[in-house]
A and B are shown apart, each in its own frame.
Chain A
Amino acid sequence: MLVVPSSTREETALGHRPAVPAPRRALRAVLLGLAAVLLLLTGGAPAAAQAPPPPPAPSAPAAPSADPSAAPDGEEPVEGIAGTLANAGEPVEGVEIAVEQDGQEVGTATTDEQGRWRVPVPGPGDYTVLLDVETLPEGTDLRDEDASSRDVTVREGQGNAPALFLLGEGRSGGSSRLDRAPQLIVGGLQFGLVLAMGAIGLSLIFGTTGLTNFAHGELITGGAILGYALNVGLGLNLIPATVIAVIVGGVLGALLDRGLWRPLRKRGTSLIAQLVVSIGLSFVLRYLYLIYYEGSARSYAQYSTQSPVDLGPVGVLPRDMVIIAVSLLVLVAVGLGLQRTRFGKATRAVADNPSLAATSGIDVEKVNNIVWAMGTALAVLGGIFLALSQQVGYQLGQNALLLLFAGVTLGGLGTAYGALVGSLVIGLFTQLSTLFIAAELQVVGALVILILILVVRPQGILGSRERVG
């Protein structure tokens, strides 16, 4: 009896009945076969209900990608969870941290005189890291007092998975929604501006070449890692390192266009095929980052721990003020450049109609090339800014990519100011939504908004209807 709904579903799925009788008979046979499989499975249902609960796992590890046969046995656990506790740049010693899995304690650690701690774990998996608030020294509090635990996923071969606890001067005092809102607005503005760095590049590339670039997140990650290599690897101060990284990023972006995308356009590869190619590229880049940068998230040598400066109702880290100011400057410059300069005009012409632009003497390929250089340079800058607040990790950009899409589509695909406005809305929304929903669901909120926007107004806030087509 349980089988009936599924087989009727298959029949209605047919819509029109096949005209030829032979396939129809065969189709019935297949449907019967499918039904038989379901019957076999559902038939044992009562037995299942009475069965004792413990599952004899058929010897498979839970890892998504690890083939059971390939897992090396009996290796020493190299995985661990680690972090550093610091308050206003001063390490915090003697804080107890416990790691649990499924409610069972795996290990504990106490921070040393440099504020560092590490708990080795038996293998990849999901762990909960708990910070014992009682052991924090007098006058030191968690910046968010509800955040005394962290869910950490340890991946195979990751080494040390980071668990970051933010300490501050206990500004969680009276944490009513109204009190928290101004702080979240500042955070949201900053996040939105940083997202806009990526979103404008994404939007311009879409506008001129038509490519929905799924590898844009990896350009952001690449920027953050490039900055890390110059900053920590070569020992440059972060500010010159950022400048160099942005320039190098621009050159690499132009080369990427020359080496990959332009030949594809020349071949007449369809936009959908190019989109899939960009997904492939994002996999290649992301996992090359994982291999050569290693899995653990790390901070830049400068400006990573700072104390907030009080500005009325909000406390802002000095670096965040710089990030906000620089982002605003850069974004306004890009916007003005697109509106006022000859190149900006050419870009908009290409975005509107490439063939018409070409006939009026615009070198379309050159415009595309410069747009790629600019887009990548902006992504690099955005990546470094993002990594300042979130640490450098190989998934940094991947995690931001869907938010970029959200910002770009919200503002209207292909328009620069639209991307800026959309990103700001998304940044503010993700931050302010934590007033009402759990922080871990803030991305979910933004993505739901993205879906709703595409449904209600696919051209976005500032987009025009024709451009969507």
Chain B
Amino acid sequence: MDFGVIFDRSVFALFADQSLILALAAIGLNVHFGYTGLLNFGQVGFAAMGAYGIASGVTYLELPFGVSLLLGIALAVLLALLLGVPTLRLRADYLAIVTIASSEVIRLTARSAEFREQTGGSSGLGGFAQGFYDLNPFGPGSYGIGPASYDSNRFFLLVVGWTLVVLCSLLVFLLMRSPWGRVLRGIREDEDAVRSLGKNVVGYKMQSLILGGVFGAFSGFAFALANSSVQPDNYGTQFTFLAFAAMILGGAGRVIGPVVGAILFQTLLVLVENVLIEAKGAGYISDAVLSGNDIGAVRFVLVGVVLMALMIFRPQGLFGDKKELALDAR
């Protein structure tokens, strides 16, 4: 076993694009679930809106790159309105079912041959990221420290992306200290009490859904740009639950929770994966236990185990406050 390789790859993963994508999605989920108590299981739908916004915007509508970014945000807001208007009055578990169903509707529609022209069908779209990488001020070469070194374009994406993460987190921090944020948390704790104070609960929930949805669209931007392509099957439900697990790990209802959770969780997944690859290469694991092809599946088993263990033993995650998360279906 080459521990050097394992170490290098894990350090590389710390701030690489997967962590970035997860962090942005988890910040959005945190606004929904952590602060407002909305059980949004369709975060990937917002990410898909962002991703297809720029991909279809540039390639099909032939918009400039910047305008298609705005298109992505607009689509996410539209999705939030479409989802929210009818469903925010429903009970928590119904909202969960509706959001997860809507995200699957988006994925299946995007991958269908009917809309091949707009969305590229099952093979997706590419060739839209040039507008972004043209802005890259870094010359060719490798940037970073030690194993966490990235090529110029990737480094540019990461710098922009993590700046966005910091700004989004700051925005959430300030918003949640404001009276607006206190109303959201009030809704999470006791919707009826907030209603009895004369607050428009559905309106606040809608604003929360939109805000978190826009953060979800940001993560879709990062996902699409990191791959330079959009493929519908990348936007399946597993994306949502990966972000969900990351948020719970860090601590829902905490500004720093989803960011730290995303970095730690992604790094943990890469670490475990590489330990298994190395152990497999060194012959410590027989094919009967785990074949080389199945190492990729282990990460999802791990996602499940982490979700279960956290919800059972430490629902507040690393930084959360247990008293803040007394959620229940009403």
Contact = CB atoms under 8 A, between A and B. Distances in A.
Does B associate with A? Answer: yes
Interface of A: 2, 5-6, 9-10, 13-20, 23-24, 26-27, 30-31, 33-34, 37-38, 40-49, 51-70, 72, 78, 101-102, 125-126, 151, 153, 156-159, 210, 212, 264, 267, 269-277, 279-288, 290-291, 402, 405-406, 409, 438, 440-441, 443-444, 447-448, 450-451, 454-455, 458, 468-469
A271 B167 contact: no
11 contacts: A13-B210, A27-B171, A37-B164, A41-B160, A54-B127, A157-B297, A270-B327, A272-B93, A290-B297, A402-B101, A458-B94
A283 B304 contact: yes
A454 B90 contact: yes
Interface string B131-149: 1111100000000000000
Contact of B312 (A23, A78, A269, A279): A269
Given A44-B65, A58-B151, A151-B113, A16 B180 contact: yes
Given A42-B69, A269-B312, A58 B154 contact: yes
A212 B41 CA distance: 13
B179 A157 contact: no
A63 B226 CA distance: 11
Contact of A18 (B178, B298, B304): B178
Residue among B151, B236, B248, B297 with max Cβ neighbours from chain A (10 Å): B297
Interface of B: 8-9, 12-13, 16-18, 39, 58, 64-67, 69-70, 73, 77, 86-87, 90-94, 96-98, 100-102, 104-105, 108-109, 111-114, 121-124, 126-135, 151, 153-154, 157, 160, 163-164, 167-168, 170-171, 174-175, 177-180, 183, 203-204, 207, 210-211, 226-229, 231, 233-234, 236, 238-239, 241, 244-245, 248, 269-270, 273-274, 277, 290-301, 303-309, 311-312, 315, 326-330
Given A51-B131, A61-B227, A65-B300, 17 more contacts: A14-B178, A38-B66, A48-B65, A54-B127, A55-B126, A55-B228, A58-B154, A126-B123, A158-B293, A264-B312, A274-B311, A275-B329, A276-B307, A291-B290, A451-B87, A451-B102, A454-B97
A276 B311 contact: yes
A6 B164 CA distance: 14
B305 A13 contact: no
Contacts of A23: 174, 177-178
A11 to B, nearest CB: 11
Contacts of A64: 231, 233-234, 236, 238-239
**At the interface, is chain B mostly helix, strand, loop or mixed?**
helix
B299 A65 contact: yes
B108 A444 contact: yes
